[in-house]
Amino acid sequence: MFVDIRHLELLKFKGCKECTECCKKPLAPLILEDFKKVYNYFPILIAKLDYLRPVMLLSNEISCPYLNNGKCTIYENRPPACKIYPYSPWYDKILLDLSCSGVGCEGEYLPLNKKEFYNSSFYEERFEKINKKIEATHKWLSTQKLIFLTSYKNIEFFTLEKNNDKYNLYHINSLKHLHNYFKTD
Ligand code: SF4
Ligand code: SF4
């Protein structure tokens, strides 16, 4: 459960240790700048969640295909969502996933206000001007033509009609990974 850090206090993080829970999450939302970083490893699709948004499929029925013996085999190139977890930016809010098993009363104190967060090791350049980046992503999506692909885990997924836009091409190239997730015609 993601909660705005402004509503939280005095939480600690004991680290991931042997935990691989977030490698079993089905998908992660994307902003445009993420496309280049993930298209070589994961399918980029458009998902109808609360509204249409670009996502990457993360784990299949078992786990992320890059998880092997409890280790990430693409650690240096893991997606931004993996790097910043258990935090997630959402417009002017910074959310923390309380279902992360590393969050509790052991370990290092977690930054729970923006100033501390921006000075912490959890901070990523991706958070910079995130409002504008999310808006630019929505705007870009509104220029694309959607093609229904399938329903999976009760979510409708779409691909995009091919065009010469560079983000569209990252999406098209990423579809080579779909076979790791579900069968398509
Ligand atoms: S971020 Fe949390 S849920 Fe993910 S592997 Fe680490 S401890 Fe587990
Ligand atoms: S890329 Fe690595 S860290 Fe991210 S879900 Fe896959 S195995 Fe886990």
pLDDT tens by residue, 115-146: 898 898 888 888 888 899 999 999 999 999 99
State if residue 97 touches ligand 1 by the CB under 6 angstroms criterion.
no
Tell which atom from ligand 1 comes closest to the C-alpha of 22. 4
Nearest CA owner, ligand 1 atom 3:
100
Cis peptide before 111, with omega less than 30 degrees from 0? no
DSSP reduced 3-state for 146: strand
Whole-number pLDDT of residue 172: 98
State if residue 64 touches ligand 2 by the CB under 6 angstroms criterion.
yes
Tell which atom from ligand 2 comes closest to the C-alpha of 65. 6
Tell which atom from ligand 1 comes closest to the C-alpha of 102. 7
State if residue 98 touches ligand 1 by the CB under 6 angstroms criterion.
no
For residue 184, what pLDDT band results from cuts at 50, 70 and 90?
low
Whole-number pLDDT of residue 65: 94
Whole-number pLDDT of residue 12: 94
Position of tokens 């002017």?
A: 92
State if residue 21 touches ligand 1 by the CB under 6 angstroms criterion.
yes
Helix (H) or strand (E) holding 142: none
Whole-number pLDDT of residue 40: 97
Question: Positive or negative CA dihedral for 116, 79, 180, 23?
Answer: negative
State if residue 82 touches ligand 2 by the CB under 6 angstroms criterion.
yes
Nearest CA owner, ligand 2 atom 2:
72
- The token pair that represents 69 in the structure block: 């013996």
Q: Over 90: is that where the pLDDT of 153 sits?
A: no
Closest to 3 measured CA to CA, from 142, 96, 119: 96
**Mutational test site, ligand 2, from 40, 75, 78, max ligand atoms within 8 Å of CB:** 78
State if residue 23 touches ligand 2 by the CB under 6 angstroms criterion.
yes
